[in-house]
Structure 1
Amino acid sequence: MKEILLFLLFFHVVSPVKHSLKFLVTSSSGVKNIPDYVGVLLVDEVLIGYCDSTGEKTEVTHDWMKKLMKDDPQHLEWYTQRCLLNQYIYKAHIDILKKQLNQTGDVHILQRMYGCEWDDETGEVNGFVQLGYNGEDFLAFDLKTLTWIAPKPEAVITKHSWDRDRPGNERWKYLLTQHHPELVKIYLDYGKSSLMRTDLPSMYLLQKTPSSPVRCFATGFYPDRVMMFWRKDGEELHENVEVGEILPNHDGSFQMSVDLNLSSVTPEDWRRYECVFHLSGVKDDIITKLDKAVIRTNCVPPSEFPAGPVIGGVVGLLLLAVCITGVFIWRRRNNGFKPANSSDSSSTDTSCVKDAALN
Structure 2
Amino acid sequence: QSSAGFISLWFTADSVSVSLSGVHIAQMMYGCEWDDETGATNGFNQQGYDGEDWISFDLKTLTWIAPTPQAVITKHKWEREAGRNEYWKNYLTQECIDWLKKYVDYGRMSLLQKTPSSPVTCHASGFYPNKIMLFWRRDGEEVHEDVDHGEILHNHDGTFQKSIDLDVSSVKAEDWGRYSCVFQLSGDKNDIVTKLDPKVIKTNWGRTEIKRDGGGKNTFLLIVLCWIISLYHFVVI
TM range (shorter): 0.3 to 0.5
* Higher alpha-carbon Rg: 2
Larger % of strand: which?
Answer: 2
The one of the two structures with greater contact order (alpha-carbon pairs below 8 A, sep at least 6) is 1
Name the TM-score, length of structure 1 as normaliser. Answer: 0.30
TM-score (norm 2): 0.44
